[in-house]
Amino acid sequence: MPILQDPLAIFALLMLNIVISEQLAKLPYLRSFGSALIVIILTAITANLGIIPSSTNAPPLYDGIFTYLAPVSIFYLLLTVNLRGLKKAGAPMVLNFLLGTLGTMLGTLLAMYLIVGPKSFGESFYALGGMFTGTYIGGSSNFNALALHYEVNKQGNLYAAAIAADNIITAIWMVVTLLLPPILNRYFPRKNRENLSASDQQRLSDEADAHINDRETMNPQELGILLGLGALSLYLSQLASNMFPAIPKIIFLTTIALVLAQFPYVQRLRGVRLIGMFCIYLFLAVIGAYCDLAALLHDGNLAIAMMGFVTILVLVHGVVVFGIGGFFKQDWDILSIASQANVGGSASALALSKGLNRPDLHLPGILAGALGNAIGTYCGLLIAEYLKNWG
């Protein structure tokens, strides 16, 4: 019997784990783990120590978070996607990003075939393929959307192993995409844009930072509007799903969010990213509670298969992006940043463009990542359903 059984006490501890995880993620030796993985591990420890309930005695609070907060977190993060801003990304960035999207989808299929997905990951292999397709096109919001739809979120060990492999490979790919352009430019030189003045570089950097800043101020009216929009959209997506049961509810929710995100009034609302990230962390904390830590640590075969699968996936993605892009003599920096926008998302694309000293590509990389947020769930569902009918 867990020490804490009252929903309020459990909720308070989940909040504490989120706070601690945010602080731990700031430490140099834990920064590469990220808050998402840390909050899963921390909550898994508290659940396995019997402080809060685990999956075997899950309280209604956990189901409530899975049912309401998890999908609404995806809704809020998609509200930041302004598709009209894609013209600022430029055709080369968008086209190479779409090339990377194709590479991710092909990589998922080949990796699942080589790893023998049904044998390595069990009945949920197709869902896992969809999740990684989504996250390596658009990021964690797509990963979580597909996990919720296929209920992989309730398979704590599989989900935690997927998050860990994702974090490791994403970090390695950041290093690869940072090192490749100077090496490739040495043997296959490309003409980069002219150097910008210091003031122009600072302006572009500030504009890009503003797109991914999670520190926001908001007033009660904005909070009320955002919470109301979230509740109404969940309600409408459920109604639509009841009317058209063949279409997943997450598709309706994603589409509603993307439509609303194009309205200037919605774009001006403050606090969208803040609320979305908070809900995501709370969802991940409950994922941690579903982890059987002993089984996870002893299941070496799952860890090996997961790392093999993700490694093959990303390698195929890289071959497609740099192979085809290089053949058409694309700027190596653009190829790297477009690839990183796929694999790591907007924030990683910005970090890479800074590392490559390409301030002119700060905003295009972020906008390419936003396009991935918009299409990742659709692509992930397409691959998952295809894999589901394998054999």
Summarize pLDDT for 253-309 with one digit per residue, the tens: 999 999 999 999 998 898 888 898 888 889 888 888 887 666 555 667 888 899 999
DSSP for residue 69: I
Average pLDDT over residues 25-37: 80
Torsions phi, psi for 292 (to 5 deg): -90, 100
Task: Name which of 148, 161, 167 is nearest 25 in CA terms.
Answer: 167
Query: What pTM did the predictor assign?
Result: 0.79
- Give the separation between CA 54 and CA 52, rounded to whole angstroms: 7
Mean pLDDT of the chain: 86
Tell me if 368 sits within 8 A of 344, measured CB to CB.
Answer: no
**Coil, helix or strand for 138?**
coil
Distance CA 339, CA 379 (A): 16
